[in-house]
Amino acid sequence: MSIHFRKLNIAPGYTSYRVLANIFLLYFIAFSLSSQTKDEKYFKINKNLSVFNSILRELDAYYVDTLDYDKVVLTGINSMLSSLDPYTVYMPEEMNDDLKMMTTGEYAGIGALIMQKDGRVVISEPYEGMPAQKNGLLAGDVILEVDGVSATGKTTAQVSEMLKGKNGTEITIKIERWNEKKPIVKKFIRENIQFNPVTYYAVLGNGVGYLMLNDFTDKAALEFKNAVNDMMKTGQIKSLIVDVRNNPGGLVDEAVKIMGYFVPKGTSIVSTKGRNFETDRTYKTPSDPVFPEMKLAVMVNRGSASASEILAGALQDLDRGIVIGERTFGKGLVQSIRPVGYGGNIKVTMAKYYTPSGRCVQALDYSHRNEDGSVGRIPDSLTTAFKTANGRIVRDGGGVLPDSVTTDSRKLNIAYYILMQNHYFDYATRYAQKHKSIASPDKFSLTDAEFNDFVNYLVNEKKFTYTTQTENYFKQLAEVAEFEGFDQTAKAEFDALKARLMPDVEKNIHDNRKEIEEMLTVEIIQRYYFQKGQVQYMLKDDTDLKVATDFLKNNSRYNQVLKKQG
């Protein structure tokens, strides 16, 4: 404990022992209050633990049905933690593989994404070069059995655990495939699955390189550096676009290392501050820069969070590059993994992080909830202005606001409802069975005949229909109007509006052909060229990429944003 006293003016005649006595009294009062506060805290902890223990024992003794103790206690733990923030969670022993996956991007299994579809578990995407893909499993395959155990009625999480196992162990999977009369059995070996956080990189021309960073696992910085070095060697790039759109974050150290490739050694990138002084720390770049002269642009969107925001925020605060896209997610909270016994861990929010200018990007205030338990965004009126290295104004309290803001102009139209009903997925499964190969992602496109075949598949075979959100709200309005007696007085208007809101499926498909065709094409390309092919195709008409490229090609415009001379 430290106690600070203002300077005392001692009047004549006041003896020194009197002053010492007063100081001692003040210290004693402060110490007593502190001890009392600690005693009260520990009393409340012990009291509530005792109550919880007593309730569990009473339930065990008298509850009418047999208790599932693990489930009851886990429900209590999860309910307690959910009242804090979404990132403080309990991870029991059986989730240790998930924990390893979060921090390292590695696990042992078959290397495929799975999903629930029509009550069954289906392979949604086998990863390129991994056991599932190498042994002929395809997107759309229905998993019937794993090692002789039926997958029927099981959740995605349960089947995922069945697919995982030790590296080198054999696995037998029975699948059902579209247009095949009999089930297919695949037998192969599980492997360590290591995901490269750099999903895709390429030289775009004119000395500009592009790199998509998918997460910040423990090898992100190394893979980042290797990719940039490769582009410098093959394409002599002088500028780099880093794409962290929809990157949820990861390890802070990896973001700091990546920034260290571009700024001097010892530069402060991010600091953390919490209630416990042990969490207070400043992260500085650990080595001399590898690419000190390279121009930078980082692309972000509302899905860019945590370590992605550290990277974008530090880049902006240090005026080392420009940020392009949408305002980021706004997650300025830091988590730490702490063991809690019996193989379990708690991922607990311990601090907030602050970018070099001193701002925190946290957008939601979880410590002050509304009466209904919801949380609100920090209003703009309560945000604070900070300055970048060159004196530009940036603000806290709501993610990172890009230097050049772009918006997604797409609407929630019929294309979205087709996606939600898995029709792109199912049609692509059929398409891939009928076509051995397709053109490269940058050249492939659907013909008119193929698009019309998809329309026929939707309208005539699947009898596709959908209910818009507007229709749902209209029904609610009509119910309220009937309750209040307006349904008859405004009947003509209600009937006219209802007629206008009823979707004309075939017309809406053709009206929104561009977006529907794009989403179907992405799904088809994935079957042949996997994730890299999807990225390659989507970049063809990427607005953010065009904006970023234009900035990097124009020195005066680039420098003007950063307020640099020359």
**Measured between alpha carbons, how far is 175 from 159 in angstroms, rounded to an integer?**
13
Residue 10, pLDDT score: 38
The answer to whether 317 is a known catalytic residue is yes
- Verify whether residue 295 is a known catalytic residue: no
CB distance 260 to 286 below 8 Å: yes
Q: Are strands 208-213 and 149-150 parallel, antiparallel or unpaired?
A: unpaired
pLDDT digits (tens, 9 = 90+) for 271-326: 999 988 888 999 999 999 999 999 999 999 999 999 999 999 999 999 999 999 99
Sheet hosting strand 239-243, strand order edge to edge: 198-205, 208-213, 239-243, 295-300, 322-325, 404-405
Identify the pLDDT of residue 4.
40
Dist CA 27 CA 224 (whole Å): 55
Contact assessment for residue 214 and residue 198, using Cβ atoms and an 8 Å cutoff: yes
Contact assessment for residue 146 and residue 162, using Cβ atoms and an 8 Å cutoff: yes
Q: Give how far the C-alpha of residue 170 lies from the chain's centroid of Cα atoms, to the nearest Å.
A: 33
Contact predicate 314/282, CB 8 Å? no
Residue ranges of the alpha helices (H) in 423-542? 423-434, 448-456, 469-484, 491-501, 505-511, 513-538
Q: Are 278 and 336 in contact (CB under 8 A)?
A: no
The tokens 């880093």 sit on which residue?
A: 242
Given the residues 141, 243, 317, 426, the one annotated as active site: 317
In whole angstroms, what is the distance from residue 249 CA to residue 271 CA? 16
Q: How far apart, in whole angstroms, are the C-alpha atoms of residue 339 and residue 565? A: 52
Indicate if 54 belongs to the active site. no
User: How many Cα atoms within 13 Å fall on the side-chain side of residue 260?
Assistant: 19
Helix (H, G, I), strand (E, B) or coil at 17: helix
pLDDT value at residue 500: 86
pLDDT tens over the chain, length 566 residues:
333 433 334 344 444 555 455 555 555 555 555 556 778 888 889 999 999 999 999 999 999 999 999 999 999 999 999 999 999 999 998 888 777 777 777 789 999 999 999 999 999 999 999 999 999 999 999 999 999 999 999 999 899 999 999 999 999 999 999 999 999 999 999 999 988 999 999 999 889 999 999 999 999 999 999 999 999 999 999 999 999 999 999 999 999 999 999 999 999 999 999 988 888 999 999 999 999 999 999 999 999 999 999 999 999 999 999 999 999 999 999 998 999 989 999 999 999 999 999 999 998 888 777 766 677 777 777 889 999 999 999 999 889 999 999 987 777 899 999 999 999 999 999 999 999 999 999 999 999 999 999 999 999 999 999 988 888 898 999 899 989 988 888 889 888 988 888 888 999 999 999 999 999 999 999 999 999 999 999 999 999 999 999 999 999 999 999 987 65
Give the distance from CA 464 to its chain's centroid.
Answer: 31
CA distance 223 to 234: 16
pLDDT the model gives residue 411: 76
pLDDT digits (tens, 9 = 90+) for 392-419: 999 998 899 999 999 877 778 999 999 9
- Over residues 336-375, the pLDDT tens digits come to 899 998 999 999 999 999 999 999 999 888 877 776 667 7
In the beta sheet, which residues pair with residue 205? 208
> What are the CA-CA distances from residue 539 to residues 109, 311, 542, 544 (Å)?
31, 22, 5, 9
Rounded CA gap, 542 and 442, in Å? Answer: 13
Cα separation, 61 vs 55, in Å, equals 10
Strands 198-205, 208-213: pairing is: antiparallel
pLDDT at res. 13: 44
| CA pseudo-torsion sign 170, 175, 180, 182 | positive
CA 15/CA 510 separation, integer angstroms: 95
* Backbone phi and psi for residue 176, each to the nearest 5 degrees, phi listed first: -115, 130
What is the pLDDT at residue 96? 81
pLDDT at 79: 93
Residue with tokens 């093959």: 234
Please tell me the predicted confidence (pLDDT) of residue 395. 93
pLDDT value of residue 33: 53
pLDDT for the residue numbered 35: 59
Token couple for 115? 């999903």
One-letter amino acid at 52 equals F
Kindly report the number of other CB atoms within 10 A of residue 318's CB atom. 22
Q: Which of 160, 239, 306, 308 is catalytic?
A: 306
User: Which candidate in 271, 331, 426, 544 is catalytic?
Assistant: 331
Q: How far apart are CA 179 and CA 303, in angstroms?
A: 38
Residue 435 tokens, joined: 């076509």
Q: Cβ distance 124 to 110 under 8 Å?
A: no
Segment (H or E) for 204: strand 198-205
